[in-house]
Structure 1
Amino acid sequence: MFELAVKTLRGRASGFAGAFVALLGAATLVTAFGILLQSGAETGVAPQRYAGVPVVAGGAKSFEVRENGKTKSKPLKEPAPLSRETVRKIAGTDGVGSVVPDVSFPAVLGDMAAAGHPWSSARLGPFDLVAGREPQRPGEVVLDAGPGWEAGAAVRIQTTEAAAEYRVVGVAKLSEADGDLRAPVAFFADAEAESLAGRGDRVDAVGVFPRPGVDPGDLADRLTAALGSEAEVTTGDDRSRIENPDVASASSTLREIAGSLGGTVLLIAILVVASTLALSVHQRRRELAVLRAIAATPRQIWKMLAAEALVLSVVASAIGCLPGILAAQLLRGALVLIGVVPEDFSFSVGILPMLVAVLAGVATAQIATFAVAWKASSVRPVEALSDAAVEQPGISGGRRTLGVLLLLLGFAASLLPVFFSGVFAVAGAGSGGLVMIVAVLLLAPPIAAFATRLLAKPITRRFKEYGCLAAANTRANAHRLAAGIGPLVLAIGFACVQLFIPTTLAAAAADQADEGIIAQYTLTGAAGGLPDDAVRDAAALPGAEAATGVTRVPVFASTKVLDSPEIFDFPAQGITVDNAAKTMDLAVSSGNLADLAPGKVALSASAASTLGVKVGDRIKLNLPDGFAAAPAVVAVYQRGSGFGDVTLAHEDVFAHSSRQLDQQILVRARPGTDLASLSAKYPGLTVSAKAGLSDEQRNAATASALSSALPLVLVFAYIALAVANTLVMTTLARTREFALLRLVGMTRDQVLKVLRIEALTVVLIAVAAGSAVPLIPLATVSLGLTGSPVPSIPPLLYLGIVAATALVGAASVLVPAKFALRARPADAIGTRE
C-alpha cells in the first residue's frame, strides 16, 4: 500500500497540495506553541547576582489545598519567602558548608530603580569592592559600579520609607561580569536591609555553599529531599528564577499562554486538516467509485487512503517544524516588545516540540482519513458510480445529530452569565461560543443550502442573468459552498470570541473604576510605587479629608466543587481602611466596608457567587506568598471588575507579599491642596486629577490583552491559510466546468462575473454566521457584567476582521479562477480530475 500511496502522491501532486499545506501549517502552529511551553518550563536568563553560589534555595513555588482527602496544587504568581526555621534546616543538612540569606526590596535612586540587598549577600555574586569599604551602619550604602557612582558621594534613596540621604561608602563590581547587570544593585548594612525589607523573620532566598568535595548536584538533591515542598532548590541557570522574579513571571506567563491556547490551537488544527482532507477525498469520489466498481474492498480503499495520509503527514509535518521555529522567535520578539518577556530571555528550541508536532500531524491526518474514508468506502460499488456523477445533497444523520447537539450545548453554555455570576459563567460562555462555531462547521452544508435559497431572489434581482446562474450553481453545490464557508466562519467567529470577550471585560473594568473612584486626586510614584508613609503624609496636609493607599496583588481562594477542591485566581487590592469610603465607592450590596480590618475580607458579587459564600461566612484564602488564611466576609460589592474581586486590609497584603509599596494613593481634598509638596519627600511623585484605572492597571491590562492576542496572530494566519487553501482547491477543481461554460458561449469576463457573485454569496453567508454565533456569548457576558446586553466591540477591529477575511476569501476564488480561465476551453474540457 505504501508503494501505491507514494506513486499516487507523485502522480497527483497538485491534488494533494491543499492537504499538504494544511498539515504543514498545523505543524508550524504546534511547533511554535510547543517551543513557547518548553521555554516556559526552562530558564531563559543566566544568573548574575547568584552566579557565585552553586546552590540557591527559594520559597515554595506552589501551595496545596486539601478537601475530603483530595489534594490540588497551584503555582504561586510571585516569590514566597523562607522562614528562619527553614534556613536553619538548610544549614543543618549534611554537606552544607555555609549559608547566606538574602532579602530584596525596592530602592529608587533619583529616577533610577534599583534593588536593595544586605551587604552579606554580595558574596553570592561575588561582588568585589573596587573603591571604599562595606556599609556598617544605617545611612551607608554600597552601589554597583555600572552607573558610575563614586565612593564618598551623597545620594537620596527612597526605599520602603520616605527618601533619605545616604552616603556612598563603597563601589562594588560583580566578579567576571559579562556586560552590565540586569538591574542596578544597592547594598545596605545587614540590619538596615532586614528592616527595610519588612520580612520579619523571613528571607527571600538562601545561597548554599557546599563543603569541599561535595557535588552541588548531590547537595541539591539532599536539600530537596529534606525540605520537600517548603522550598525550591536550584542549581545552574535555574538559579535565575529565584534571583529574578521577572524571569519567573515570564516563564509562568509563557506556560499560561501555551496552556490556555494549546487546546484551542490543536482543535483548530484538527478541524482544518480534517476539512481539507475531506474535501480532497470528496474531489476524488469518481476515482474511488471506479476502484469500488472493479472489486476494491472497503478495507483496501481505507488502507490506501490511510497510507497516503501517513506519507503526506510525515513529510508535511517534518517540513512544517522549521517555520514553526521562526514563528516562535517572531512571537518572542513581539512579547519582548510589549514587556511580557524580558529582552534577555531566550527561547529554548528542542526536539520535543517538533516531535510532538509531527506525531500530532500524523494522528490528526489518520483520524480525519478514517472519518472520510469510512463514508467513501462503505458505499456499494454500483451506488458509488451513480453517487460520483452527481453531488449528493445533505449530510449524514450522525453528523447532523452531533452538530445539533453541539449547537444546543454551546447555546446553553452561552446563557450561563444570564443566570449565574462568577468565573464559571464567563468561562462557560466563552467555551460555548467556540462549541457553537464547531457546530456550524458540522452543519455547514444545510446552512449553506438554506442561506442560498434565501439569497437566491435578491441576487437574481440585483445581478439579473449572472445572479440567476450564480444562485443556481451555489444551490446545486451546497457541499462545495460549505467547504468555502466553513473556514471563513471559523476565522470570524474565533476572532470575535477570543478578542471581544477581553475587550468587554476591560471596558467593564474601566467604567466601574471611573464610577467608583470618588477621590479628587490620585498620587503615583516612581518605579515600584510610594511608601506607606506617603498615605499618612497626604492625609495630614491642610485641606486633605482622606487618603487611601492601594496596592494590587494576586490571591487565591478555594472551595469544594463536586467533592474535590478547586482553586481560583482573583485580583485583589490591599487598602488602608480608614476613611476608604470617602475615596472609593465599591457599590456595596451587603455588609459594610467600614468593618474591613486585618483578618477580614470584602468580596465582589462575582467572587462570592463563585465561592458560594455570603457576609459572615469565612473563606479559604491563600495570600500572594501562599499563606493560608480564613478571613470572614464583611461585605459584598458590585464593582469587582474595576477594583478587584477581593479587598483586604493593607496589613494583610504587606505581611504576605513582596509588594511593600502603594501603587496608587487616592486623595479626597479641597481645591488648592498642595499635594505636589510631597514630591520633596517622595521623588518621582506625580499628582493627577481623578482617574479611573491607574496607569499600572491600564498597562498591565494592555500587556495581558496583547500577550493573549499576539499568539492568536499565528492562529489567525493559519486559519487564513486554511480559507485560501480550501477555496483555491474548490475553484481549481472547477476547471472543466469553466471550460464548459465558455464552450456554450460565455466569455472569460462573464464567467469571472458569475464567480464574483458566488464569492460575494460565500462571504455574506460566512460574515452573517461568523458574527451571529459569537454575538450570543458576548451579549450574555456583557449583560452579566454591566447589566447591558451590548458588548464592547471596537468597530474598527471588527471591520478589520471582516474585511481581512472577505479579502482572503474573494482573492482565493478569483485569483485561481483567472489562472484556470487562461487555458483554451477545448483543452481544459479534457483536463484530468
Structure 2
Amino acid sequence: MFRLVLQTVRERKAGFVGAFIALLGASTLITAFGIILQSGIGDGVPVQRYADASVVISGKQSVTVHEGKKSKTKPLTDPVAVPADLVGTVAHTDGVARAVAVVSFPAQVVGADGRLVTGADDRRSIGANWSSAALGPFTLSGRGPRRAEEIVLEQSVAERAKAKLGDTVRIASTRAASPYTVVGIVKYTGAGGALRTPPVFFTDDTATTLFGRADQISAIGVLATPGTGAGQLDDRIDAALKGAGVSSHIGAGRSSAENPDVASARGTLKVLAGSLGGTVVLITMLVVGSTLALGVHQRRRELALLRAIGATPKQIHKMIAGEVLVVALAGSLLGCLPGVLAAEALRGALSVIGVLPQDFVFSYGPIPMAVAVAIGVITAQAAGFAVARRVVAIRPVEALSQAATEQPGLGRARVVFGTVLLVLGAAASLLPLFFGSVFAVAGAGSGGLIMVIAFLMLAPPLVAHATRLLAAPFRRRFGNLGYLAVANTRANARRLAAGIGPLILAIGFASLQLFIPTTTAAAANDQARAGVLADYTLTGDAGGLPTDAVADARALPGVAAVAGVVRVDLYSSVKMLGDPEVFDYQAEGLTTDGQTTDGQTTDRLTTDRLGQVLGQVLNLDVTGGDLSRLSETTAAISDGAAATLGTRVGGTVRIHLPDGQTIQPQVVATYRRGLGFGDITLSAQTLMRHSSHRLYDSILVRLQPGADHKTALAELKALSTRYPGLHVQDKGGLSAAQQRTAMVGLIGSAIPLLLIFGYIAIAVANTLVMTTLSRAREFALLRLVGATPAQVLRMMRTETLMVVLIAVAVGTLVPMLPLTMVSLGLTGSPVPSIPPLLYLAIVAATSALAAAAVLIPTRLALRARPIEAIGLRE
C-alpha cells in the first residue's frame, strides 16, 4: 500500500501541490507563534549589572488567586520589591560571602543645554546605590561616593555629559534636579555590548532616600564563598526564604531581575501568543481541511473507479491517509525554516514600534517546530479521514455516476453543525445588549469568528442563493457571457464555494481583529478628550515628573487646581461558579498637592476639598456615588468593571496591585469613562506604594477664571529648570497621549496579524488557483464548440467579479453584527469605528488577490491547444 501511495504522489505531484502549500504555510505560522510563546518564557537579553552575582533575589513576579481548592496565577509585569529585612537572612545563609541590597530608581544627568543625557546607544541611565556596584564587572577610576552630594557615573554617560572627575553636574531623579560632584567613573567590562541601563551611583543613604522606601529594596545580589556553586547556593537560599514571596535567579535568569522592561516584554509575548495562538491553530485547521477536501474532490472520478473495481473502504482510507501523511510531513518540515524567519521579522517589527526592547532576542529551539509538525500531521490526517469517509460512503455502483456530476447538496451533519454554529455565534454577538461586562464584549468578538466559520461550512447553498440574486443583473449587464457565468456558478456551487470561503474568512477575520481595536481606541480618545477639564497637562522625558512638581505647580499664580496622575496595570478578581476569575485592568491613581506618596501628610485636604480639586481637572462622568470620597482605602470603578466584577457603590472590590498585594477597598463611585482614564481609580499614594512608580505620569493643571494663560504658560514652562525634560501641553495633551498609546497598541496588535493574514492570502490564492486549473478541460470544450480565448477570459472575469462581490458582501455583513454589539457595549453607540481607508485596503487587497489567482491560471490554461487540453487527466 505504501508503495502505491508513493507512486501516486510522485505521478500526481501537481494534484498535491495545493495541500503541500497549505501545510507548509500552516507549519510556518504555527512555528512563528510557537517561537513567540517560547520567547515569552525565555530570558530575552543577557545579564550585565548583576553578572558577578551568583544568585539574585527579586520579588515574586506573579500573583495567585485562591478560591477554595482552586487557584489561578497571573504574571506581574511591574518589578516587585523585596522586603529590606531579608538581606540579613540571606547574609547568614551557608555559602554566602556577601548579600548586597540593591535599590534602583530614575536618575539622569542634566546636560549643559538643560536636556537629559543618555548613555551608549541612547540608553536611559538609572540611579543605584554604590554597594550594588560590587555585583557587576566594573573598573573604577577615582573613588566611590562618601557624602550625600557625591556620585559615580558610568563611562558612556560621563562622556556624553562631558563630565570629568571633580566636575559638578545636575541629576534629575525622583526629586527636583540637584547638583552633585563626580568623584568616580566606572567602566563596564562584561559581555553583552553596551550597558542597557548605565548606572549613576549614589551613597547608600542617598539612594535609599531617592528610592522612597526604607522598608523595601529592588533586589538582593548574592556573592558566594569560594567553592560554592550557584545552584547549590540557590537551593539553600530558597530554603531560608521559603514563604517570603520572593524568587531567586541564577545564570541567564538573573536578567529578569535586572531588566524590568524585558520582564514586561516577555509578558506581552505570552499574552500575544495566548490570545492569537488558538485562532492560528483553528484557521490552519480550516484551511488545511478545506484544501485537502478540494484536492480529493477533484480526484472523485479516480476514487470512484477504484471503488467500482473492488477497492474496499479500508483500502481507500489507508491510501488517502498515506498520501496525506507524505504530503503533511514534507510540507510541515519544510515550513519550519520560514517560520523562524517570520518570527525574526515579527521581532524586528515589534521592536521598531517599541513593544519589545531593541535588543530583545527570541528563543529558537526545536519545541515550536516539533509542535508545528505534529499539528500539521494531525490536522491533515483528521481532514483526510473526513474526506475518505465521504468517499467510501457511496456504494460502488453509484460512485462513477455521482463522480460525473457535482452533487449540489451538503451532508446532513455539516448542515446541522453549521446551523448550530451560526445560531451560537449570533447569540454570543448579542450579549452586550443584555450584559455590560467584559465577558459580553469578548463573547461578541468570539461570536463573530464563530459566525464566519459557520458561513464557511454553509458556503455552497449560500453561494447558490447569492448567485440567484445576481443572475438577472449580470445577464443584463454582460449578455451571453453573464448568462454563461451564472450558469457555471449555479452548476458548480460547491467548487465556487471552495474559492469564496477563504475570501470570506480573510475579510471577516480582518474586520473583527482590526475594527474592534479601532472602535476601542476611538472611544478611549473621545472619553479622554471630553473628560479632561484641565487647561494644561505636564509630562516629563525621564519617564514622568517628581511628586514635588505638584506642589510647585500649585504655588504658581493663577493656578486653581493641580492633580498628579499615575497609570499602572493591575488585576481584579471575583469568584464565578466556584472558580476564581482574574481580569486585567488599567488603573489610574490621582492625588493633589496636599498628599505625599510616603504616607505623610502636608496640609491634608478634606474630602470635600479633594473632590473639588479633582472635579476641576477631570470629569469621569460619574454614574453613581461620590468621587470626593476617594481615599487610600476606597476606589472608584467604571460601569463595565462594576458589571464584570458584580459590585456596586457601597460594595467592595478585590484588587491585586502591581506588587502582588491584595486590597479590598470600598467602591465609592462608578463612572462611564473607563476607556479613557482606566477602569479602576485609586489614590496615587496606594499605587506608588505598591509599584515601582516613583514619578507621576502626568500632572493636570487648571487655571483660575480670568487668569492670564500666556503668563501661566510661561510660569509652567519655567518649571523645567527644576524638572528637566518637563513639557507643557494644552488640555488635549492627555488625549494626544491616549491617541499615541492607542495607535501603538493597534499597530502592535496588527503586526502579528499580518502573519495570519498572509497565510489566509496564501490560502485564498492556493484554493482559487486549484479550482481554476481544474477547469482546463472545461475551457478546452468551450473553445472546441466555438468560443475564442478572449471570450473565455471575459467569462472568467465575469465569474471573478461575482465571486468578489459575494465574498465582500458576506465578509462585510457577517462581522457587522458583533462589531455593532461591541461598539454598543464599549461606547453606548451602535456605530463602530471603521476607518474607511483601512476597510478599503482590506477589500482591495483581497479582491486583487482573488482576481490574480483566477485570471493568471486561466491565461495559462488557455495557452494549450484545446484538442490536447480536452484529453488531460483530472
TM class, shorter-chain normalised? over 0.9
Matched, 1:625 2:656: no
2:717 maps to: 676
Structure 2 contact 563–700 (Cα < 8 Å) conserved: yes
2:235 maps to: 221
1:63 maps to: 63
Query: Identical aligned pairs, as a percentage?
Result: 58
1:798 maps to: 839
Aligned to 1:769, which of 800, 810, 813? 810
Matched, 1:274 2:289: yes
CA distance in structure 2 between the partners assigned to 1:440 and 1:87 by the alignment: 62
CA distance in structure 1 between the partners assigned to 2:213 and 2:441 by the alignment: 37
Amino acid at match of 1:790: V
Amino acid at match of 2:446: S
Matched, 1:289 2:304: yes
CA distance in structure 2 between the partners assigned to 1:778 and 1:693 by the alignment: 27
Aligned to 2:247, which of 232, 248, 258? 232
Matched, 1:137 2:147: yes
**Count of paired positions:** 832
Correspondence list, 1:816-827, <5 A:
816-827=857-868
Aligned to 2:768, which of 727, 736, 739? 727
CA distance in structure 1 between the partners assigned to 2:210 and 2:305 by the alignment: 84
Q: Which is further off, 174-183 or 99-108?
A: 174-183
Amino acid at match of 1:133: R
CA distance in structure 2 between the partners assigned to 1:515 and 1:327 by the alignment: 41
1:300 maps to: 315
CA distance in structure 2 between the partners assigned to 1:480 and 1:764 by the alignment: 17
1:18 maps to: 18
Distance 1:178 1:615, change over 3 A: closer
SS of structure 2 residue aligned to 1:636 = strand
Structure 2 contact 536–733 (Cα < 8 Å) conserved: no
1:154 maps to: 168
SS of structure 1 residue aligned to 2:692 = coil
Correspondence list, 1:94-105, <5 A:
94-105=94-105
SS of structure 2 residue aligned to 1:597 = coil
Structure 1 contact 108–526 (Cα < 8 Å) conserved: no
1:185 maps to: 199
SS of structure 1 residue aligned to 2:100 = strand
2:2 maps to: 2
Correspondence list, 1:22-421, <5 A:
22-110=22-110, 111-112=116-117, 113-130=124-141, 132-147=142-157, 148=159, 149-176=163-190, 179-228=193-242, 230-421=245-436
Structure 1 runs not aligned, ≥5 long: none
1:712 maps to: 753
Structure 1 contact 664–694 (Cα < 8 Å) conserved: no
Q: Which is further off, 667-676 or 412-421?
A: 667-676
2:597 maps to: none
SS of structure 2 residue aligned to 1:270 = helix
CA offsets, 1:591-622, max 9 Å, x none?
11110011211000011111000111111111
1:533 maps to: 548
Amino acid at match of 1:96: V
Matched, 1:503 2:544: no
TM-score normalised to structure 1 length = 0.98
CA distance in structure 2 between the partners assigned to 1:64 and 1:183 by the alignment: 30
**Alpha-carbon shift at residue 788 of structure 1 (Å):** 1.4
CA offsets, 1:65-109, max 9 Å, x none?
111232211111211111134333333333322210101100132
Correspondence list, 1:475-514, <5 A:
475-514=490-529
SS of structure 1 residue aligned to 2:107 = strand
CA distance in structure 2 between the partners assigned to 1:339 and 1:403 by the alignment: 42
Structure 1 contact 410–435 (Cα < 8 Å) conserved: yes
SS of structure 2 residue aligned to 1:518 = coil
Matched, 1:635 2:676: no
Matched, 1:745 2:794: no
Q: Which is further off, 212-221 or 386-395?
A: 212-221
Structure 1 contact 67–565 (Cα < 8 Å) conserved: yes
RMSD (Å) for aligned C-alpha atoms: 1.3
2:615 maps to: 581
CA offsets, 1:478-511, max 9 Å, x none?
0001000100000000000001100000000000
Aligned to 1:599, which of 620, 630, 633? 633
CA distance in structure 2 between the partners assigned to 1:373 and 1:382 by the alignment: 17
1:439 maps to: 454
CA distance in structure 2 between the partners assigned to 1:655 and 1:776 by the alignment: 44
CA distance in structure 2 between the partners assigned to 1:91 and 1:694 by the alignment: 49
**Alpha-carbon shift at residue 228 of structure 1 (Å):** 4.6
Matched, 1:519 2:534: yes
Structure 1 contact 544–667 (Cα < 8 Å) conserved: yes
CA distance in structure 2 between the partners assigned to 1:225 and 1:284 by the alignment: 66
Distance 1:445 1:692, change over 3 A: farther
Amino acid at match of 1:656: H
Structure 2 contact 58–220 (Cα < 8 Å) conserved: yes
Amino acid at match of 1:128: T
Amino acid at match of 1:404: T
**Alpha-carbon shift at residue 697 of structure 1 (Å):** 4.0
**Alpha-carbon shift at residue 10 of structure 1 (Å):** 0.3
Aligned to 1:570, which of 585, 597, 614? 585
Structure 1 contact 642–693 (Cα < 8 Å) conserved: no
Aligned to 2:440, which of 425, 434, 455? 425
SS of structure 2 residue aligned to 1:576 = strand
CA distance in structure 1 between the partners assigned to 2:366 and 2:70 by the alignment: 36
2:853 maps to: 812
**Alpha-carbon shift at residue 290 of structure 1 (Å):** 0.5
Amino acid at match of 1:31: T
SS of structure 2 residue aligned to 1:233 = strand
CA distance in structure 2 between the partners assigned to 1:49 and 1:698 by the alignment: 36
CA offsets, 1:695-739, max 9 Å, x none?
554443333222221111111010000000000000000000000
**Alpha-carbon shift at residue 153 of structure 1 (Å):** 1.1
Amino acid at match of 1:198: G
Structure 2 contact 521–739 (Cα < 8 Å) conserved: no
Distance 1:696 1:47, change over 3 A: farther
Structure 1 contact 574–653 (Cα < 8 Å) conserved: yes
Amino acid at match of 1:94: D
SS of structure 1 residue aligned to 2:461 = helix
Distance 1:374 1:692, change over 3 A: farther
Structure 2 contact 48–190 (Cα < 8 Å) conserved: no
**Alpha-carbon shift at residue 178 of structure 1 (Å):** 5.5
Structure 2 contact 539–726 (Cα < 8 Å) conserved: yes
Structure 2 contact 621–672 (Cα < 8 Å) conserved: yes
Amino acid at match of 1:13: K
Q: Which is further off, 90-99 or 602-611?
A: 90-99
Distance 1:13 1:225, change over 3 A: farther
SS of structure 2 residue aligned to 1:146 = helix
1:448 maps to: 463
Aligned to 1:656, which of 683, 690, 704? 690
Q: Which is further off, 489-498 or 252-261?
A: 252-261
SS of structure 2 residue aligned to 1:99 = strand
Distance 1:546 1:30, change over 3 A: same
CA offsets, 1:556-610, max 9 Å, x none?
1110011111111100011115311100000001011110011211000011111
Amino acid at match of 2:723: Y
SS of structure 2 residue aligned to 1:693 = helix
